[in-house]
Structure 1
Amino acid sequence: MDTAIIRKEFILEGLCCGNCAAKIEQEVGNLEGVSSATVDFVSKTFTMEIADGEKVNSLVAQADSIVKLHDPDIMMNEKETLQPGKKVIYLFGLCCADCAQKIEKQVNLIDGVKTAVLDFVSQKLTIEALNQKDLPGIIRQASQIALEIEPDIQISYTNKKNDQEASRFWKKWAYRIGLGTGAAIFAAGMLFDFGTPAEFILFFLSYLLIGGEVIYRALKNISKGQVFDENFLMSVATIGAFAIGEYPEGVAVMLFYQIGEAFQQLAVNRSRKSISSLMDIRPDFANLQIGNELRKVTPEEVGIGDVIIVKPGEKVPLDGRVLDGRSALDLSALTGESLPRDVEPGSEVLSGSINKNGLLTIEVSKEFGESTISKILDLVQNASSKKAPTENFITKFARYYTPFVVFAALALAVIPPLLIAEATFADWINRALVFLVVSCPCALVISIPLSFFGGIGGASKNGILIKGSNYLEALNNVDTVVFDKTGTLTKGVFNVAQITAAGGWSQDDLLFYAAHAEGYSNHPIALSIQKAYGQEIDTRKLSEHEELSGLGIRVKVDGKTVLAGNSKLLDAENIPCQKEDTSGTVVYLAVDGVFAGTIVISDEIKPDSKQAIKDLRSIGVRSLVMLTGDSKTVGEKIAGEIGLDAVYADLLPHQKVEQLENLEKEKPAKGKLVFVGDGVNDAPVLARSDIGIAMGGLGSDAAIEAADVVLMTDEPSKLVSAIRIAHKTRGIVWQNILFALGVKAVILVLGALGIATMWEAVFGDVGVAIIAILNAMRAMRVVE
């Protein structure tokens, strides 16, 4: 019997070592019962998938022990994963137990509340509603109750307070004072001659002040079986310098290392903030209209059907429909479009867009958790959990690189003095210490995920959502691009272009029967016929409605049997008809078994389709193909206009999958096949392709769910931008790999020859890491 996988997500507060992150991931992943473990260093997110439900608590505890083993200061806080209808509210500053009981009691009395539990210790109020749609209103009332009883508390819906913040603050200052004092004593020892015994005491004291924490962590980790980490390597290297009488060098290297680590941590934090700022589109509040009152609330407190007011300059907090007002919306944060979009009563608006000028009254259509902005934020923030092959390679490489260099250092310290007559242990130990210092792979394990996440963040700023580093890297190897036609290469906006009646029927009669036959359909072609008819469809005239897959519709209209569909439908019914040779989509009609005429529906090619095809060729895509359910005539005309290599027409959904599989066999082994569709009707093909890309995904839930990449506008040219961003990101990743390994290799060689000192070695560790991190940030710049 299959066991359901239990997914647990945690935030590792205080995680600042990329090498530690890689080790945590490996060790937790090796625990029996854990099917997978991923540590996203950039967002500090730690994800476990557990196969055995009975071992969940035990495995989480073991994982926490592993995290603490690598860094005791890391706090493993679980992310809230609530079922629909549940919500957690944090009441920070709640210090009255009696008040907590009152809040819990009154919240339980709210209509629609199933249960409400307030945990006084964690200051967490968990509410479960009987009906999910009532939850925003309940949250609103619960917040008001809490503030009335305890006016000084701070209500939060997303942040968990860290109890370790104060202790961390004092630790940080103790570290800074120790480092500063140690540096001052070291400077005194270098500037003045105090004599041999005093000199040793001064340098040893400064060494303890500067590097005491490093030595303590090394000893603590060794006691837990963790040997090959930065703390151990730096401790051995600098203690070794003291052992051979190089006191100033031992202190100086530790000081340089500590300063370098501080700069490295600063660079990592800056990088994280820079990437986060790319997606700084989360609305902070909503102006909720309740009667004649306007109340400022969080977006989570607003429900479907509520009315909100968006003033000029404010972000639209939730998806909805404009009831009143006209304005221009800036959608650049969502789509990368620089031109504002005009909205008026009846227009759909998306959360995350910015109201430029007018006052808008909006009826909310989706709760915040289901809104466009919430889905985008979730996709981008979780994108780096799907690691690229290069990231996995570097993680695996780091496991072997450090132990190899350490054992090479040991061999370098021992073997030459035993085999070479004039060689001294002091000299070769000094060379071996260089190996130890330069053996840490942090430059790679930090900068590589930062590069990929920067690329994903930059793409999102350009209206391209990439669901994982693996898909971003895969875009570098695109060989074949397969397009859907309608809504992808064409606008998908249909209009009746021609009506040809036959057998004594009038055009009005033809349009009447066609519009009624399509009366139950929301297909764009059906809607265009209904629009051309221009009157209300009287569904009382309809009976025996039947959809014929891939052919059309059979229905009785006023007692007459009407067939509406493609020519295959009439052929299947043995009804002779006049075939149309046109570039538009043709709807054939028959009434009571007699051909009645045709209606030609035209679609228009998107303005940038032709240029997109040309640009795809220029960046190395070998084959460009179109799959369409439309007629061969229509497909070939469009393919010829925009310059595609091949077109396969008259395809049913399952035939599209079969044709895609045939194209898959024709591509090179390392090449990737991309399918670009609308993400709704093409879900099977999107799933079957190497990379599924949804076009026109703006606001489409189905598109966001089905595809690996979502282009938030209708422009095929965004695919070109996505591939260029992938190329740029790969370039930066390999620059960092080659630079880091190249510098380390040179220092290792020079160290073995006795030319490089520990100064160069420390640069090869922390200096290279800082440069690689700064280089990784270039991936955020959008490539047009």
Structure 2
Amino acid sequence: MSKETTMELILEGLECANCAMKIEAKVNELKGVKQASLNFATKVLSIEVDNTIDANDIFSLVNKIVKDIEPDVIVKEKNITRSTEKTLILMGLDCVNCAGKIEAETRKIAGVKSASLDFISKKLRLEVENKHELDRIISHIKRLVKEIEPEVEVVDEEEHDIKCACEDDRSNAASNIEANNKKWAVRLGISAAFFAAALLIEFPYWVEFSLFLISYILSGGEVVLRAVKNITKGQVFDENFLLTIATIGAFIIQEFPEGVAVMLFFQVGMFLQNIAVNRSRKSIAALLDIRPDFANLKVGDEIKKVSPKDVKVGDIIVVKPGEKIPLDGKIIDGRSMVDTSALTGESVPREVEVGNDVLAGFININGLLTIEVSKEFGESTVSKILDLVQNASSRKAPTENFITKFARRYTPVVTMAAALIAIVPPLIVPGATFTDWLYRALVFLVISCPCALVVSIPLGFFGGIGGASKNGVLVKGSNYLEALNDVDTVVFDKTGTLTKGVFKVTQINPQGNVSKDELLEYAAFAESFSNHPIALSILKAYGKEVDKNEIENYEEISGHGIKAKVKGKTVLVGNAKLMARENIAYVNTDAVGTTVHVAIDGVYAGFIVISDEVKEDSANAVKGLKSIGVRRLVMLTGDSKAVAEKIGKQLGLDEVYAELLPDQKVEKLEMLEKQKSPKGKLVFVGDGINDAPVLARADVGVAMGGLGSDAAIEAADVVLMTDEPSKLVTAIKIAKRTRRIVWQNIIFSLGVKIIVLALGAGGIATMWEAVFADVGVALIAIVNAMRAMKVDRI
């Protein structure tokens, strides 16, 4: 259980994205603060505070930090709550219908705000109102699970991760599954032998009946017992009840072979289905097998093999050729090629050397690397990616929600229809016999289980998300994956998205008595506190140490530029809007690039031109998006109109909006939102935290170059893990392929069931066809769903 308190503070009046980043950084440095995250779009500052620290003290310190950076911002307390989320693993859960019951009953427990059970990963995610009630709620869930599925064990995910941390434990778990499968196979084999003997050899009636009964008990006794237990608890409409009624009904009308066949082949089908689902789970796990198993920790002159979770920030680790890099860090010795494909989908290895940052999950190919750890394992990029992908299924797509609701109503309706088929025709149709129509009703019952849909649809989406991750596209939920099918408009940011974001000073044009060196020096001093790419390019061109003691009254004017006192002189550095605002006459230029104007003590001193370069991949992205049916491609930028229009024309964009302030970007996005087609989705592609307001406003926010960027991973719904905008085309193709597979399963499953239901009601289909319509269709649908995780054909 967590030992932190989560504080949420609202920063009213916060309009400066750069200031937001500074506030977040300062708060993270406070003693007792484990983690602080400031959402610029919602202006909510979330802080995880150690329980030993007084929350009021933290509030006062945060308030002081905010006032120092942004005096006009008001800090208000939103709430102080204990962390309320918990994930439980239901070990041994193989019944999809039971999973639905467990989820529904868990939601009814007092104190539970929400509950989502993912059958594929066997994870039950809880959100409770009061953390102090968590133990009581978990105890209640354990009792509930034992009632519905006695063999299932409920374990805490954190405890399970610790328990299964080593290779031996994982091997033992696999061995247990294999042993259970063997027992199941032996029991079904013996049952099949008795069934075959009774069916193929002529015996006296009582011997034949005994052989069929033994076969029935071996294959279906467990199902009957479970049905009886469920009925005593008021849980009637499930596959156990339906099969029990159908097969006992067959025995009553002396259709022994069909009664046994239904139960036997149902169990064989469930056995194969279980193998298929487990295989798909393993395939997805292998697809995301980027979690490192160990770290070589350097202690003095010794190397110790330890768990990555035991390594602290600042520790030194050694990575040998062929090993996974276990934690994020910086190379302090060595040179090598690293395979980044597991995180980025890139097939070409990267070369790394001293000073380069590397991430957990990279594979060291040929050199010996010594790395200084920069993040604990829980905060590493690979850990966040694993967590997001594995938890993505909790955000269900509309199709999944529809199927869940449909399944709840479908089974009772079919059961009522079966009852009417058994009772009504014998009463009103001349010559109709009760036995004949009861048999037709029993066929109806066998068909009615919606397992094919309930298992294969989530499996399809889960596989699609896993396949996207393998391609370097991180999708945070199946709802976002489904939304990518209907993209109507794609809106791009310019800098760092379509362009490289690597700026270079290409012109220095002084005016009056100011020399080139002086103009560049004053601009560099004024920009020295900024992390903006333009500021960094000016500082790089200056190339000297900046004495920050000579800078006073630094002020960043959002959307305009910077005002500061440098060596006793008031310096303005920014765009044409800043000059106009300060009533300073400036030189208009048509130079291609970003123009930075400089004024000293109210007198225009000249301008510096900085150029950015379009990414080689941007043209492919635009071409690819148009080829898959995206109607409108738009670029929003704060850069000059001349630069924006040149890039727009070069790439073939439909529309370009330039010289926009951050709030104007949101306004333009809302305008574009109104112009899209009714069912179409608007996607915004930006490069992280600076685009947070627009990312939040779009139907689907896509962050570019999220590799190693916590801000990008937090801000967006979809993260492209490399700097290639064409990965968005890959994401949309994966989404379309996943939906195609999901709808194949829906149409195939319902189509076969409707046909066999009609044939059964008409007396044409027997229970053999009914078994295929239930178990056979489910098996085919599951195998088809497994195709969603294949990544080599995208």
How high is the TM-score relative to the length of structure 2?
Answer: 0.87
Cα pair 2:487 2:682 within 8 Å, conserved: yes
Cα pair 2:195 2:215 within 8 Å, conserved: yes
Deviation at 1:319, TM superposition (A): 0.8
Deviation at 1:14, TM superposition (A): 0.9
* 3-state SS, counterpart of residue 682 of structure 1: helix
Q: 2:415 aligns with which of 406, 412, 416?
A: 406
Per-residue displacement from partner, 1:166-225 (whole Å, max 9, x unpaired)? 999987666544433322222221232121122212212221122111111111111111
After superposition, the Cα gap between the structure-2 partners of 1:540 and 1:490, relative to the gap in structure 1 and judged at 3 Å, is: same
Deviation at 1:68, TM superposition (A): 2.6
How far apart, CA to CA, are the structure 2 residues paired with 1:61 and 1:455?
A: 34
Deviation at 1:682, TM superposition (A): 0.8
Cα pair 2:702 2:719 within 8 Å, conserved: yes
How far apart, CA to CA, are the structure 1 residues paired with 2:185 and 2:179?
A: 10
Q: Does 1:619 align with 2:628?
A: yes
* 3-state SS, counterpart of residue 563 of structure 1: strand
How far apart, CA to CA, are the structure 1 residues paired with 2:360 and 2:218?
A: 52
Per-residue displacement from partner, 1:14-35 (whole Å, max 9, x unpaired)? 1112222223222322344322
**What residue identity is the alignment partner of 1:740?**
S
Q: Does 1:466 align with 2:475?
A: yes
Deviation at 1:590, TM superposition (A): 1.1
Cα pair 1:89 1:157 within 8 Å, conserved: no
Please name the residue that 2:72 is paired with: none
Q: 1:657 aligns with which of 655, 666, 680?
A: 666
Please name the residue that 1:670 is paired with: 679
Please name the residue that 2:292 is paired with: 283
Q: Does 1:698 align with 2:776?
A: no
Cα pair 1:589 1:597 within 8 Å, conserved: yes
After superposition, the Cα gap between the structure-2 partners of 1:341 and 1:177, relative to the gap in structure 1 and judged at 3 Å, is: closer
Deviation at 1:13, TM superposition (A): 0.7
Over aligned residue pairs, what C-alpha RMSD do you find? Answer: 2.3
Please name the residue that 2:348 is paired with: 339
Q: Does 1:10 align with 2:88?
A: yes
How far apart, CA to CA, are the structure 1 residues paired with 2:549 and 2:179?
A: 78
* 3-state SS, counterpart of residue 72 of structure 1: coil
Q: 1:80 aligns with which of 149, 155, 158?
A: 158
Per-residue displacement from partner, 1:253-283 (whole Å, max 9, x unpaired)? 2111111110010011001111111001111
Q: Does 1:235 align with 2:244?
A: yes
Q: Does 1:29 align with 2:107?
A: yes
Please name the residue that 2:21 is paired with: none
* 3-state SS, counterpart of residue 785 of structure 2: helix
How far apart, CA to CA, are the structure 1 residues paired with 2:513 and 2:186?
A: 98
Cα pair 2:594 2:611 within 8 Å, conserved: yes
Which deviates further from its counterpart, 264-273 or 29-38?
29-38
Deviation at 1:468, TM superposition (A): 0.3
Cα pair 1:19 1:446 within 8 Å, conserved: no
How far apart, CA to CA, are the structure 2 residues paired with 1:164 and 1:157?
A: 11
**What residue identity is the alignment partner of 2:155?**
N
* 3-state SS, counterpart of residue 304 of structure 2: strand
1:565-576 aligned within 5 A = 565-576=574-585
Deviation at 1:158, TM superposition (A): 11
How far apart, CA to CA, are the structure 2 residues paired with 1:357 and 1:748?
A: 61
How far apart, CA to CA, are the structure 2 residues paired with 1:335 and 1:302?
A: 25
1:192-341 aligned within 5 A = 192-341=201-350
Please name the residue that 2:616 is paired with: 607
Deviation at 1:50, TM superposition (A): 2.0
How far apart, CA to CA, are the structure 1 residues paired with 2:176 and 2:387?
A: 31
Deviation at 1:586, TM superposition (A): 0.6
Deviation at 1:48, TM superposition (A): 1.9
* 3-state SS, counterpart of residue 697 of structure 1: coil
* 3-state SS, counterpart of residue 80 of structure 1: helix
Q: Does 1:60 align with 2:69?
A: no
**What residue identity is the alignment partner of 1:36?**
S
Which deviates further from its counterpart, 559-568 or 272-281?
559-568
Q: Does 1:762 align with 2:793?
A: no
Unpaired segments of 5 or more residues in structure 2? Answer: 1-77
**What residue identity is the alignment partner of 2:108?**
N
Please name the residue that 2:717 is paired with: 708
* 3-state SS, counterpart of residue 322 of structure 2: coil
Per-residue displacement from partner, 1:37-96 (whole Å, max 9, x unpaired)? 111111111012222556544433333333233211111112239xxxxxx995x7xxxx
How far apart, CA to CA, are the structure 2 residues paired with 1:713 and 1:160?
A: 35
How high is the TM-score relative to the length of structure 1?
Answer: 0.88
After superposition, the Cα gap between the structure-2 partners of 1:713 and 1:175, relative to the gap in structure 1 and judged at 3 Å, is: closer
Q: 1:369 aligns with which of 371, 378, 403?
A: 378
After superposition, the Cα gap between the structure-2 partners of 1:387 and 1:160, relative to the gap in structure 1 and judged at 3 Å, is: farther
**What residue identity is the alignment partner of 2:97?**
N
Deviation at 1:730, TM superposition (A): 0.5
Deviation at 1:156, TM superposition (A): 4.5
Which deviates further from its counterpart, 260-269 or 2-11?
2-11
Please name the residue that 2:121 is paired with: 43
How far apart, CA to CA, are the structure 1 residues paired with 2:579 and 2:467?
A: 51
1:346-357 aligned within 5 A = 346-357=355-366
**What residue identity is the alignment partner of 1:302?**
V
Deviation at 1:611, TM superposition (A): 2.0
Which deviates further from its counterpart, 390-399 or 415-424?
415-424
Per-residue displacement from partner, 1:608-644 (whole Å, max 9, x unpaired)? 1122112212212122111111122221211121112
**What residue identity is the alignment partner of 2:143?**
S
Per-residue displacement from partner, 1:562-604 (whole Å, max 9, x unpaired)? 1111111111111111111122011101112111111100000
**What residue identity is the alignment partner of 1:605?**
V
Please name the residue that 1:522 is paired with: 531
Please name the residue that 1:440 is paired with: 449
Please name the residue that 1:110 is paired with: none
Deviation at 1:396, TM superposition (A): 0.2
How far apart, CA to CA, are the structure 1 residues paired with 2:175 and 2:784?
A: 34
Q: Does 1:781 align with 2:787?
A: no
Deviation at 1:512, TM superposition (A): 1.3
Per-residue displacement from partner, 1:378-413 (whole Å, max 9, x unpaired)? 111111110000000000000010011111111111
Please name the residue that 2:464 is paired with: 455
Cα pair 1:487 1:678 within 8 Å, conserved: yes
Per-residue displacement from partner, 1:689-747 (whole Å, max 9, x unpaired)? 11111001110000000110000001110001101110010000000000000000111
How far apart, CA to CA, are the structure 2 residues paired with 1:547 and 1:379?
A: 35
Unpaired segments of 5 or more residues in structure 1? Answer: 82-87, 93-154
Which deviates further from its counterpart, 576-585 or 164-173?
164-173
Cα pair 1:589 1:598 within 8 Å, conserved: yes
After superposition, the Cα gap between the structure-2 partners of 1:162 and 1:13, relative to the gap in structure 1 and judged at 3 Å, is: farther
* 3-state SS, counterpart of residue 317 of structure 1: coil
How far apart, CA to CA, are the structure 2 residues paired with 1:445 and 1:408?
A: 21
**What residue identity is the alignment partner of 1:373?**
V
How far apart, CA to CA, are the structure 1 residues paired with 2:456 and 2:515?
A: 71
How far apart, CA to CA, are the structure 2 residues paired with 1:174 and 1:649?
A: 69
Please name the residue that 2:26 is paired with: none
Please name the residue that 1:427 is paired with: 436
* 3-state SS, counterpart of residue 681 of structure 1: helix
After superposition, the Cα gap between the structure-2 partners of 1:170 and 1:545, relative to the gap in structure 1 and judged at 3 Å, is: closer
**What residue identity is the alignment partner of 1:767?**
G
After superposition, the Cα gap between the structure-2 partners of 1:172 and 1:326, relative to the gap in structure 1 and judged at 3 Å, is: closer
Cα pair 1:263 1:770 within 8 Å, conserved: yes
Please name the residue that 2:195 is paired with: 186
Per-residue displacement from partner, 1:98-129 (whole Å, max 9, x unpaired)? xxxxxxxxxxxxxxxxxxxxxxxxxxxxxxxx
**Which 4+ runs in 1 deviate beyond 4 A?**
1-5, 52-55, 155-177
* 3-state SS, counterpart of residue 764 of structure 1: helix
How far apart, CA to CA, are the structure 1 residues paired with 2:511 and 2:263?
A: 93
Cα pair 2:338 2:363 within 8 Å, conserved: yes
How far apart, CA to CA, are the structure 1 residues paired with 2:548 and 2:176?
A: 71
Cα pair 1:22 1:445 within 8 Å, conserved: no
**What residue identity is the alignment partner of 2:124?**
F
How far apart, CA to CA, are the structure 1 residues paired with 2:402 and 2:177?
A: 34
